[in-house]
A and B are shown apart, each in its own frame.
Chain A
Amino acid sequence: MISIPTIDLKNITKTFEEGYVLAVDDISLKIDDGDYVFLLGPSGCGKTTTLRIIAGLETPTHGEVFIDGKNIKGIPPEDRDMGFIFQHFEIFEHMTVWKNVTFGLEMRGYNEDYILEKAEKTLKLVGLLEYADNYPSIFGDPGLQKLGIARAIAIGAKILIMDEPLGSLDPKVSKVFRHEFRNLIKDLGLTAIQVTHNQEQAMAVADKIIVMRAGKILQMGTPYDLYEDPESIFVANFLGETNFLQGFVLKLLENEEMKVWLRLGGPQIICNNLNKKFKLDNNVIIGLRFEDLYIFPKDYPFDSSFYDWSNLQFFQAKLDSSRFIGATKRFYLSLDNGDKFLVVKPGNFEENFIQGDNLIIGIHKDDIHIFEAPKDLLHEISLT
């Protein structure tokens, strides 16, 4: 059986101001039932417009939106089986928690028994039943967001549309609550689409991430896929922390490998060259995730080590400084050619390095991300 995606966008374009502003540029995407999907990108990338098109709050200039296989052109937002949760909650403050949930059901003309049963069940699901008789003012923001979910699912919403729902929370509260929020949405079996510019949040919560920039989709996939195989410098830089070093292809090797010489007489590094994509003398950018690099003292006994390091390649660097930041430690290093880079290790990584030490840096070939050199690296790694 071929499963039909819950949400299917086909060649959506949206322009504003009579075509002068291109907000969304011919994008297509599918969202499966039960997935928690993030639209992620810098301000002005088109993510909010895309979300509003799915919700029916904007009409696309071109293209079509299908929900459960049905073209929903002309169907108003309230009839799309969707619940909306925004940063500035639209909770009725003058109504009790109970009334907030039953209101939508009453408006839809359900009978009393149904409403009673449904509201009770819903509030129980989100863990707010004991507060039914209270007014929403007793809640902090997390409680209000749960009430928002309760209201949405009470009226049968299977899709949640969320615009930075945790955006107004204190960062610490949001870091704790986001896991509870995700667990609740997953347990309720809802499909959810959330907009954010906070990549850390997206990585922590999403099943799938759609990275947008300048109205286009750059890449979509699971956080793991995007993190492990970023297709562009922008994505590699936007999700996680990556060192970018410039070099050129010095030599093509067998087995779809090549030797890259980092600029100005930096180290030579063997990289994958899958499908023989790169040619001799091509300018390339090497992306090294901070945490993928290994770090050893200059006199490390590789031969007598308990671990097998034979699959790493090594180069030298000088330690400029280091910093303990709790869960991790950060090492600031520089190469002979003056290029600076960073290595991240767990917070209890044992070392006795001092500033100015020459260290040995190790990297596994498969952990090297390699990109064509762009015209303007600074533009590619700028986060806008």
Chain B
Amino acid sequence: MVNITLKNISKSFKEQVALKNISLEIKDKEYFIILGPTGSGKTTLVKVIAGLVKPDSGEVLFDNKDMTNKPPLERNLGFMFENYALFPHMTIYNNIAYSARVHARDPEITHNIVEQMLLMTLLTGRNDALPEEMSGGMKQRVALCRALMNLEQTKLLILDEPLKALDAGLRMSLRRDLLQMAKSKLLELSVIHITNEENEAMMVADRIAVINHGKLIQVGTPYEIYYQPKTLFVANFMSEINYFEGIGRKNKELSWDIHKKSNQGDIFFEKIHKESIPLPIEIEENITFVSCVQKELYNSITEKDKILLVIRANHMKIRLGNRIDEKHNAITGKISRRKFMGVFYRFEVIINFNDKEKVIIVTIPATSEIHDTFLEDLNVTIYFPKELGIVFMHPGKDEIDKVLRLE
């Protein structure tokens, strides 16, 4: 069993700040993802946990025991970093089974686990190959298997971008299996897994920590991160988004009852916004949208504050023609581009409010109806349910640009 606590961890390399005052708890048997763009401090953070980097300040606790100054060996963890370090003279099978043998594990259980891992990583039948006969992707898979085997006592596994060098397709299928593996009764692992891909994070995580520029921005379940992002950075990192700038008008009268529940998916929306209040947001003089806002934020918004309304591309809906009278939070526009992307269609819709043009991205599940009828240059109405709006205090134009450019 291992519960990990980080208290106020900071680390700089010369002038460069890598980690700024990070506090975090990782629970026993949790699959924990650290998500952030390249250079955000992810690797430094796990190296601090593993004891490979000593923090300038702060504490690392394993089960409430101070490990800050303990060497890596005493922390009993398995890790897989980006260089694979396979034994060149050993076959795939032996590379993977090595640590279990050293630790005199039951040979039959060892064999079963190795076989299961070979199957999962599509290496079955290659048992006898040597590392020099393998492609980079294969070596990575062997290293992953070996790291998974390399666990005694603590049952903590650290994976630093374990799927990075693999072809996209294989990455998809490995993600499908990774969580299942970690949760299997045979292993009962705690896993800390670093990635810069939001899909990978969502696919396997129990909880996700989003970090950027060495700072911890948000920790939460995939659900919370997706529907209640704390900042524009988190919102944007998890999917394509659209945003509008506006002013909250709490007392604005609308032609529709904003307190009425949307008729579709009530249970679902209730879960997202348990304690939220619908807020009319004036985007332009004659355009007001409504979005649900968390109570706390709602209370702090005044008519002096500029706010930002964010809607994920896949939460926008689209209908042919002018349907503005039938839909709330609706605006008309024209499809300027469309692209089939497999599961989804992606549309760029040009809307025109008060002579300002703006491109709105809409992604919707691909069906043959969409394929046949939603063509470029057609006029459409786009709209969104108020429950799926995400509202922030306006962070300033420069900050928005920076976030959208991922700087």
How many Å lie between the Cα of A137 and that of B406 in the bound state? 17
The answer to whether B267 touches A325, judged by C-beta atoms less than 8 angstroms apart, is no
How big is chain A's contact interface, by range? 35 or more
A378 in contact with B122 given A204-B346, A326-B222, A350-B265 (CB within 8 Å):
yes
- Using a Cβ–Cβ cut-off of 8 Å, how many residues does chain B contribute to the interface with A? 50
How many Å lie between the Cα of A197 and that of B168 in the bound state? 7
The answer to whether A140 touches B172, judged by C-beta atoms less than 8 angstroms apart, is no
Cβ of B199 within 8 Å of any chain A Cβ, yes or no, is yes
Q: Which residues of A contact B238 (CB under 8 A)?
A: 326
A43 in contact with B167 given A140-B405, A203-B342, A327-B314 (CB within 8 Å):
yes
Name B342's contact: one of A43, A171, A173, A239 (CB within 8 Å): A239
Name B371's contact: one of A43, A197, A224, A325 (CB within 8 Å): A224
Cβ of B240 within 8 Å of any chain A Cβ, yes or no, is yes
The chain A residue sitting closest to B264, CB to CB, is A350
Cβ of A347 within 8 Å of any chain B Cβ, yes or no, is yes
The answer to whether B172 touches A241, judged by C-beta atoms less than 8 angstroms apart, is yes
The answer to whether B344 touches A172, judged by C-beta atoms less than 8 angstroms apart, is no
The answer to whether A227 touches B237, judged by C-beta atoms less than 8 angstroms apart, is no
> B277 to nearest A CB, angstroms?
21
How many Å lie between the Cα of A2 and that of B187 in the bound state? 64
* Residues 219-245 of B at the A interface (beta carbon under 8 Å): 222-223, 226, 237-240
Q: Interface stretch among B2-10, B322-330, B333-341?
A: B333-341
Cβ of B309 within 8 Å of any chain A Cβ, yes or no, is no
The answer to whether A197 touches B341, judged by C-beta atoms less than 8 angstroms apart, is no
Cβ of A382 within 8 Å of any chain B Cβ, yes or no, is yes
Q: Which residues of B contact A182 (CB under 8 A)?
A: 339
The answer to whether A325 touches B222, judged by C-beta atoms less than 8 angstroms apart, is yes
Name B167's contact: one of A42, A170, A237, A327 (CB within 8 Å): A42
Cβ of A199 within 8 Å of any chain B Cβ, yes or no, is yes
Cβ of B66 within 8 Å of any chain A Cβ, yes or no, is no
* Residues 380-407 of B at the A interface (beta carbon under 8 Å): 388, 404-407
How many Å lie between the Cα of A175 and that of B404 in the bound state? 12
The answer to whether A173 touches B222, judged by C-beta atoms less than 8 angstroms apart, is no
Cβ of B352 within 8 Å of any chain A Cβ, yes or no, is no
A240 in contact with B314 given A43-B167, A173-B406, A324-B222 (CB within 8 Å):
no
How many Å lie between the Cα of A347 and that of B312 in the bound state? 12
Cβ of A87 within 8 Å of any chain B Cβ, yes or no, is no
A328 in contact with B198 given A43-B167, A170-B37, A382-B122 (CB within 8 Å):
no
Q: Which residues of B contact A344 (CB under 8 A)?
A: 343
How many Å lie between the Cα of A227 and that of B344 in the bound state? 12
How many Å lie between the Cα of A240 and that of B407 in the bound state? 31
The answer to whether B342 touches A240, judged by C-beta atoms less than 8 angstroms apart, is yes
How many Å lie between the Cα of A350 and that of B262 in the bound state? 13
Fill in one digit per residue for B165-179: 1 if any A CB lies within 8 Å of its CB, else 0: 001111011001000
How many Å lie between the Cα of A327 and that of B38 in the bound state? 23
Cβ of A179 within 8 Å of any chain B Cβ, yes or no, is yes
A352 in contact with B240 given A170-B38, A199-B168 (CB within 8 Å):
no
The answer to whether B239 touches A327, judged by C-beta atoms less than 8 angstroms apart, is yes
Fill in one digit per residue for A104-122: 1 if any B CB lies within 8 Å of its CB, else 0: 0000000000000000000
Extra pairs beyond A172-B198, A223-B340 (12, CB < 8 Å): A170-B406, A179-B346, A199-B169, A203-B341, A238-B169, A324-B226, A326-B202, A326-B238, A327-B312, A350-B268, A383-B167, A383-B173
Leading 10 A-B pairs by shortest Cβ distance: A325-B202, A383-B169, A327-B314, A198-B168, A203-B342, A224-B340, A350-B265, A170-B38, A383-B170, A171-B197
The contact sample of 16 A-B pairs, CB cut-off 8 A, is: A43-B135, A170-B37, A172-B198, A173-B37, A173-B406, A176-B240, A183-B337, A205-B339, A223-B342, A224-B371, A325-B202, A326-B198, A326-B238, A330-B203, A347-B226, A383-B122
